[in-house]
Structure 1
């Protein structure tokens, strides 16, 4: 076998490779005076360092036989790719996180929207006629809201059994409630005379609003209603309501239980019974209205102190138990604007009425002048009624003489009423019978305008009746004449049921709103 001798070029190439692959200290080369066709380093700075014997990086020989430049470019490119991949991965993770958070936020917003929409669907009344009947709420000043409740207490019509006209003024932190009985006489859109309780069946919610506006002379901006079963569930859902019961309620027609006077935590069934009860020692309709107002105040106190989240969660359970023109947001905004109103400062008054019977139907008829004066005070933000104690303290009970006559045919009524007045310090000089027993209600008649305060003080003490100025149709020798009507039987019955519960209180020491006393004026009496 013949072995070829390496050529001179191969020797030189091998020599160069050996030198390049050798580590250590090198003696600086003497630059060749002849120009070289190839540069070892493209960077002059690296070339100078190499000539001084400084070697900072030695690139290994590779199987690809690539040059130093190509190898450096390839390594630099690989690092860039790895960095780019890592950077891209980080960007993807960040983008995924942002998208996940956004998706959760969108899902939360969607869930909240569905939650609120569900409450609104159960709570809000969608009725174009009602919307048309309601007035726009003013941006400033007083707002009137109508609370309508049907307690299924046996009256004709589908409700309301009671209507509460509520005036609120957030700017003045004041509120007042005018109680309108469900059996008040009014004329509805069919042109016929009805009880207010018939309005729902005649024309729906819009008819109720319009009827109350006609009675009161104010424009209603919001409407809220409930019925007996919903009312019970509402009170129970709130854990009961705290009410200071002014007089023992013991009315068999309202239910099978009784509620003692004093502070009480009422559950739903008890609260319904309390609102239905109408068998009181005096001023039965007014006392029932006052009780309804107390319940409304207690509910107001429970709702107005809630934060937004608490309110929304409570309304999830309570929506459908109360219906309103307001949606959830509007209801919370209205209640929030009333937070500065202390429940104990809410002024309450009952519509002044007397009982009248038409075609066999018993109505409560508004006493026009007193009701008009009461609504005027309400619109001015004043107290709706004069306190009983203020009335009594304004007169000297022994300074004028009184005649008491039985005008309703109730046995012993005149004697009972006279004893009540004497015990209160009044000067009763005559007791007897009226010429006719035709008086449905008790009248307190005065013939001098200056005696009006005295007559009102008597009405307040009796707990029923109505003060009447008449200098022509009645003849009597004393300063004031009291004609005891058939309504006194209600007082005797209520007093008996109160005594049976062990409550020692009587009609002379109860605190009532007496600026609007119930009276029964027979259509046959002058």
Structure 2
């Protein structure tokens, strides 16, 4: 077999190969031999050839070694040949299009969610703005008398309702005033009922029934009068009327209450509410709140009003039927308050479930007296009120310190009355007064020892009846409470001995 030697590159082939290598190196400064005039015919710099672009300006810049864009390398680590094969296979373009569509869908979804979020925020803002405008106090001056509480501390709110009366008589007593101590930390609500006929000194320097405070100085006058009477600051104020209460009760679909006695008061309304479980509609709710012809009228009325208020709030925030925010919005036009709808909803959330909240109810200690022309005035027992409010401010039950005589159920107490004054008919008159206040007077007569007693005494033997004895003293506006022990013999819960100080 003949052997042939490999033919080498010719001189012209060597020059072409070298030129291609040099041309492939962008920015190379490897010098190449100059021509006879040191320049190529195309005036390119030494070591390069002309680079063509559709734009002549870019061609000149590239020829001078100015590079504006260089394609990035494949990030997959594959070779140029593999990259080219991947791009050339079937389905590559479709994959690119699918990924592009997915990106567009994602972008559109995010945009849509953003639009929904903005719309929802705008809707919620409009919802609360409308509710707040309806809840607002309008031209009331109540905020002048409100005092903001310390952060996290219990605070008082004054809730008022102009309930009126089903008959002309007793219309002034149709105004309901509830001072409510709200302790969010311990989930405790304490309702203090303030009778509308309590005599208070107002800014004009004269004494008036509390119900006249707004006519003297607006809602701020009323708030200051209650705050002064109870010795507390009032942080919030809310007001409504009979029509407002009916509307709210109808919105929540009725309010269920458990009544421990029948409610039958012609001045309150034509409805008779039987004892036991009752679902109140709007009119019957107003009847319950107006009613006052109980044996211990003020104490029972305070309990009924507190019971209704808590059960109404429980019904509204329970989530049954309409949502709580919807109830607040729908009922906003029925209430005037400095609370915003957001604050009301937040308070409902804090106290939920209201069925587990500790609730106390009491009335300002004192007694109703009948003045000239049959006008009734409520006389406050200042010492007992101070004792009760001391317990309330401490977060305890209103009667826990020394007892609240207004909470005594007089209908359950038996009393014997003996005349030790020497004043004829004194025992009979005292017995009539006690019976009118609801006590069971089982016997009336004279003392059997012939002694003239200088002072009236209300005697108890069982310590459980000490507060009841105080109630009798309060109702008679006379007497001294005495622990009789074994010194006095009687079969009733209490014994009243009329003394020479009796002026009844």
TM-score by length of 2: 0.65
Structure 1 residues 258, 459: closer, same or farther in 2, change over 3 A? farther
Decide whether aligned partners of structure 1 residues 413 and 191 sit closer, same or farther in structure 2, where only a CA change above 3 A counts. Answer: closer
Aligned to 1:332: 345
2:234 corresponds in structure 1 to: 220
Task: Indicate the residue corresponding to 2:79 in structure 1.
Answer: none
Contact 1:125 1:324 in 2 (8 A): yes
Partner of 2:468: 457
The C-alpha deviation readout for 1:301-330, integer Å capped at 9, x for no partner, is 2245459x9221221211122222110111
Aligned residues: 397
Q: Would the alpha carbon gap of residues 112 and 256 (structure 1) be closer, same or farther in structure 2, given more than 3 Å must change?
A: same
Unaligned runs of 5+ in 2: 1-5, 22-83, 420-425, 448-454, 482-489
Q: For residue 290 of structure 1, report the CA deviation from its aligned partner.
A: 2.3
Aligned equivalent of 1:295: 308
Matches within 5 A, 1:280-359: 280=294, 282-303=295-316, 305-306=318-319, 310-339=323-352, 342=355, 345-351=358-364, 352-357=366-371
Per the alignment, residue 160 of structure 2 pairs with 148
- Whether 1:115 and 2:135 are equivalent positions in the alignment is no
Which residues of structure 1 form unaligned runs of 5+? 1-29, 44-74, 432-444, 472-477, 484-523
The residue aligned with 1:197 is 211
In structure 2, relative to structure 1, the CA distance for the partners of 1:88 and 1:465 (3 Å cut) is: same
- Number of the residue aligned with 1:420: 440
Q: What is the CA–CA distance in structure 2 between the aligned matches of 1:158 and 1:252, rounded to whole Å?
A: 16
Which secondary structure does the structure 2 equivalent of 1:252 belong to?
coil
Structure 1 segment 74-93 matched on structure 2, within 5 A: none
Residues in 2 aligned to 1:415 and 1:329: alpha-carbon distance in whole angstroms:
50
Cα deviation, 1:40-95, whole Å, max 9, x if unaligned, reads xx79xxxxxxxxxxxxxxxxxxxxxxxxxxxxxxx99x999999999877665544
CA root-mean-square deviation: 4.8
Contact in 1 for aligned 2:202/2:221 (Cα 8 Å): yes
What is the rounded CA distance, in whole Å, between the counterparts of 2:145 and 2:342 in structure 1?
A: 21
Offset from partner CA, 1:450-493 (integer Å, 9 cap, x none): 88976753676x8993463369xxxxxx962479xxxxxxxxxx
SS in 2 for 1:181: coil
Shift of 1:161: 0.7
**Helix, strand or coil for the counterpart of 1:346?**
strand
- Residue 171 of structure 1 aligns to a residue in which SS? coil
Counterpart CA distance in 1 for 2:281 and 2:338 is 27
Counterpart pick for 2:478 among 468, 471, 478 = 468
Residue pairs, 1:24-173, within 5 angstroms:
33-34=9-10, 35-36=12-13, 94-126=106-138, 129-153=141-165, 154=168, 161-173=175-187
Structure 1 residue 274, shift from structure 2 partner: 0.9
Cα distance in 1 between the residues matched to 2:357 and 2:9: 113
| Cα pair 2:210 2:225 within 8 Å, conserved | yes
Q: Check the 8 A contact 1:375/1:384 in 2, yes or no.
A: yes
Q: Does the 8 Å contact 2:258/2:278 carry over to 1?
A: yes
Q: Is the 8 A contact 1:199 1:207 kept in 2?
A: yes
In structure 2, C-alpha distance between the alignment counterparts of 1:418 and 1:378, rounded to whole Å: 27
TM score, norm. by length of structure 1: 0.62
